[in-house]
Structure 1
Amino acid sequence: MENRVVITGSGLVCSLGSTESEVWSRLVAGEEGTAPVGRSDCDSFHCPAARTERFSEANPGIQQRLGQIMDTHLALLMKAVGDAVLGSGLNAGDIPADQRGFFAGMGMVDYEVADLLPAVLESLGPAGELDYNRFYSQGYTHIYPLWPLAMLNNIAFCQVGIRYDIRGENCVFSPYADSGLYAIAEGYRTVKEGRAKLALCGGVSDKISASSLARAVLSQLLDSSGDGARCRPFSIVRKGSILGEGCGIVAVELLSHAAQRKAVPLAEVLGFGSASDGEGELSHPGSDTISQAMCTALDQSGIKPSDIDLLIAHADGNPAGDEAEMEAIHTVFSGCFDRLMVYSSKGALGHMSAAAPAVDTLIGINCMRNGMVPPTLHADPVDHRVRFDLVAGECRPSRVRRCLINSRSHEGRCASLVIGSCG
């Protein structure tokens, strides 16, 4: 029991629902969250997305004056953290504030044109042009004074920390998908090394907006084939991804501490690995780099590749990125294909950036606890080079004891996490 780290609480919100149980049941049923973006300023991108429901962002835990500049990412983060706090029993107040850690992967925060429009209108010249002298002398006063804070992603992080009286170790990782796994790994290390009694960790996505879609295009992430665009993990016709919104949070603590509190472990965190090939911007990590991250996670877990039952792949539908991950899986798990299942959530949920691996971690926990693996959507026709068992078509009843989760950025970094069943 000494120094074993377990997950005792969780929170999940995404395009398929605002509770973990709802999301799980819809994933198993083969549903997806993809729909038209529904914003006029995004029409020119001609692509769907997996957005969350516009549930109320009013929350008594948010300071009123800062609430005026908060957006979707805060609502997602507050909801998921709240569920994880409730599930773990942190709200019972038996853990001192300075022994509560908080680590989150977070992406970019985008402003809305409406935020600046009053200042612009006040600064127009006689011919309708923007008069910078008028803007800097009087127009700028029509911008809400705290608006610049809205561009800092850790403002939402701080608001959640204030709401739940978290005064222990904390950090924000940014901005890509791997940051969500780095956050969980840091929470794992923090409690393992005795620097906190319990840590909340995970990731939250960017809001889907014209700016986030533009970044995805520039990063060569987006499938821009039109309204029929989909993320097609490991498919021979894959062309890229679509964006998704969501948040996943887990509460981690030592097994011995959970036993003292009579908290019920959901899963055990076994190991973590990361690697980078350092090839610069817009570079998906190569197969050797992905292999290194997976092998490091397995070594830290003290297990062999044959001990993994389920691999939740990053698999975002990028032609080169999926090929590299495919080759890495073939290399590391060679000889294990008779028992290894592979799954990707992005066909159903889109690419949720920093939230993606945290949500995948929660999906892995549900696979272990429910004896079921959801289907990978839109993978058909599967790339003929795939030699592993990609779960697609329909959900599969199966015993899952250990699960490996992959995540990667498009700047050469990747990370892997291994979790195990407590049953």
Structure 2
Amino acid sequence: MQDKKLVITGMGAVTPVGIGVQAYWDSLVNGVCGVGRITRFDASGLPVQIAAEVRDFDPAAYMPKSLVRSTDPFMQYSYVAAEEALRDSGLNIEPEAARIGIVMGTAMDGITTVAHTQEQFSTGGPRRVGPRFVPMVIGNVAAAQIAIAHGIHGPSLTLNTACSAGGDAIMTAAMLLRSGEADAVLAVGGESILCPVVVAGLAQAKALSRRNDDPEGACRPFDADRDGFVIGEGGGALLIETEEHALARGAAIKAVLAGYANTNDGYHVTAPEPNGQGAAACMRRALQRAGMEPSEIGYINAHGTSTLLGDRAETQAVKSVFGEAKDAPPVSATKSSTGHLMGAGGITEVIACIQALREHILPPTLHLETPDPLCDLDYVPNQARHADISAAMSNSLGFGGQNSSIIVSTYKG
């Protein structure tokens, strides 16, 4: 089982720059930025008033109205992304429902519902707390709603590994497949943390950009003038199968899940290890599992959040694995377009890697005008670039020292 090739047959995305994989990808390569003023609530009294919201999203257009009333936004984004991925895959679930699994990744579960409900309770008492409150805030209910809707009865796991949760969901799906627990697994990531208490907390920690007067230019990874990350929200999903299973049902294979790894810095709760050694170890493990040399990676989708310490540590990690700037592959940070999707980012950014393989285009790092001298890689600044590549890596690095690296490659049959 350990040697079985794993392939990706379905993709789904809900992002601040597009709902659906094609809309998301088109926006990335065309340099669209989804950051703007916060409209979800009155942010005028907060030091940070910008975010990358999923706009023009009517959940009732994608799911039953009764389900809309019973789900937090992070669940809705996850559900819609999963629907697209399953539809894209053409998988017939019913005959083998017990052999199909779900792994969900999220950082903060239903925090927006918690915050809103606490406000309602504080002003109106216990009668203002709805009966659906608890299932709306529990992380695993996102996967449960998908399973209920599609009659999926295989393994179901939910991970809370901060901003690496999406990548870790992919790795866990691969572990289930290679252990023989399932033949196909839906890896899903979802996040929505847009509420006053979270924005205030991250602002107090000086983690967020305060470019309230220039929302579109706020997220500028690797730029000398960056001042923090921008909150984003959304969902992503991938259907991963054993090659044997995919071929037996005549599935169209989009890419190979070639390598994956997870490590921990063991250094600090919020700050990365300055030299990026934990992230470097993670990349090396992913390469080893893929049976690849660093020179075979044609593109890296960086974690690249636009924080001073994070961008520098990740740059050092890449150079530790791939060599000096002239030897390293092109790197870009699509968070410059979407903001930081946290638990959803690990999956939507792997989708960007898959599309880069299939379309032979590298998405750009936006707003890179004055490079940080300590960030000296090729970051594909401001304009998408044509490139014929056969393998790509996606890195996700989270609070708690979490590191995830995922490698996808072109399927050759």
* Distance change in 2, residues 1:219/1:192 (3 Å): farther
Residue 49 of structure 1 corresponds to 51
CA RMSD for the aligned pairs? 2.2
Distance 1:196 1:172, change over 3 A: same
Alignment CA distance shift 1:180-1:60 (3 Å): closer
Which of 226, 251, 260 is the matching residue for 1:272? 260
Matched residue of 2:42: which SS? helix
Q: Cα deviations across residues 371-395 of structure 1 (Å, max 9, x unaligned)?
A: 1112110122112233422111211
* More off after superposition, 146-155 vs 163-172: 146-155
State the AA in 1 paired with 2:208.
L
Quick one: distance in 1 between partners of 2:258 and 2:12? 20
Q: Name the CA distance, whole Å, in 2 between partners of 1:146 and 1:83.
A: 26
* Residues 341 and 58 (structure 1), Cα distance of their counterparts in 2 relative to 1, 3 Å cut: same
Match of 1:201 in 2: 187
Q: Return 173-182 or 290-299, whichever deviates more.
A: 173-182
Please, which of 202, 207, 227 is the counterpart of residue 239 of structure 1? Answer: 227
Structure 1 vs Structure 2: percent identity of aligned residues?
Answer: 26
Structure 2 equivalent of residue 224 of structure 1: 210
Mapped to 1, the partners of 2:120 and 2:358 lie a distance apart of 52
Work out the CA distance in 1 between the residues paired with 2:225 and 2:297.
28
Q: Pairwise mapping of residues 312-327 of structure 1 onto structure 2 (< 5 A)? A: 312-327=301-316
Deviations 1:247-304 (A, max 9, x none): 1110000111111100011000111122212223222244111110111111111111
Match of residue 329, structure 2, among 340, 349, 353? 340
Residue by residue over 1:102-148, the C-alpha shift from the partner in whole angstroms, topping out at 9 and shown as x without a partner, is 001113222276646665555xxxxxxxxxxxxxxxx4234222323
The question of whether the paired residues in 1 share the 8 Å contact of 2:48 and 2:208 is answered with: no
1:38-71 deviations in whole A, cap 9, x for unaligned?
A: 144322233321110242222786583x643423
- Between 1:104-113 and 1:158-167, the stretch displaced more is 104-113
Check the 8 A contact 2:332/2:380 in 1, yes or no.
yes
Contact 2:15 2:54 in 1 (8 A): yes
**Cα distance, 1:189 vs structure 2:** 1.5
Taking structure 1 as reference, are residues 356 and 215 closer, same or farther at Cα in structure 2, changes over 3 Å only?
farther
Contact 1:219 1:410 survives alignment (8 Å): no
- Whole-Å separation in 1 of the counterparts to 2:404 and 2:115: 36
Q: Which moved more, 1:71-80 or 1:54-63?
A: 54-63
C-alpha distance in 1 between matches for 2:48 and 2:287: 41
C-alpha deviation, 1:367, in angstroms: 0.4
Give the distance between the partners of 1:116 and 1:215, measured in 2 at CA. Answer: 16
From the superposition, tell whether residues 10 and 40 of structure 1 become closer, same or farther in structure 2 (CA, over 3 Å).
Answer: closer
Secondary structure at 1:185's aligned position in 2? Answer: helix
Distance 1:181 1:40 in 2: 30
Structure 2: unaligned runs, 5 residues or longer = none
Given the alignment, which residue of 275, 292, 296 partners 2:285? 296
Give the structure 1 partner of residue 82 of structure 2.
Answer: 81
Partner in structure 2 of residue 248 of structure 1: 236
- The 1:346/1:159 distance shift into structure 2, 3 A limit, reads same
Structure 1 residue ranges (4+ consecutive) displaced by more than 3 angstroms after TM superposition: 59-63, 112-122, 335-339
* 1:376 counterpart SS class: coil
2:251 aligned residue:
263
TM-score if structure 1 supplies the norm length? 0.90
- After superposition, the Cα gap between the structure-2 partners of 1:227 and 1:308, relative to the gap in structure 1 and judged at 3 Å, is same
Q: In structure 2, how many angstroms separate the alpha carbons of the residues matched to 1:168 and 1:315?
A: 35
Is the CA contact 1:8–1:251 (under 8 Å) kept in the aligned structure 2?
yes
Equivalent residues of 2:325, 2:378 under 8 A apart: no
Specify the SS of the correspondent of 2:392.
strand
Give the Cα–Cα distance (whole angstroms) in 2 for the partners of residues 288 and 120 of structure 1: 45
| Aligned equivalent of 1:144, options 123, 130, 133 | 130
Tell me: CA distance 1:242–1:151, structure 2 relative to 1, closer, same or farther (3 Å): same
Aligned residues: 405
- 2:100 is equivalent to residue 100 of structure 1: yes
Tell me how far apart the structure 2 counterparts of residues 342 and 106 of structure 1 sit (CA, whole Å).
25
1:344 Cα deviation (Å)? 0.8
Counterpart in the other structure of 1:190: 176
1:62–1:163 Cα contact (<8 Å) kept: no
The answer as to whether partners of 1:305 and 1:336 remain within 8 angstroms in 2 is no
Structure 1 distance, partners of 2:347, 2:376, is: 27
Aligned partners of 1:335, 1:284: CA distance in 2, in Å?
A: 21
Segment of structure 1 superposing worse, 276-285 or 395-404? 276-285
State whether structure 2 residue 352 is matched by structure 1 residue 349: no
1:306 maps to 2:276: no
Write out aligned runs for 1:346-385 (5 A): 346-385=335-374
* Structure (1 or 2) with the larger CA radius of gyration: 1
Q: 1:183 Cα deviation (Å)?
A: 0.4
Distance (whole Å) between structure 2 residues aligned to residue 257 and residue 37 of structure 1: 44
Give the conservation status (yes or no) of the 8 Å contact 1:238–1:318. yes
Which residue pairs with 2:398 in the alignment? 409
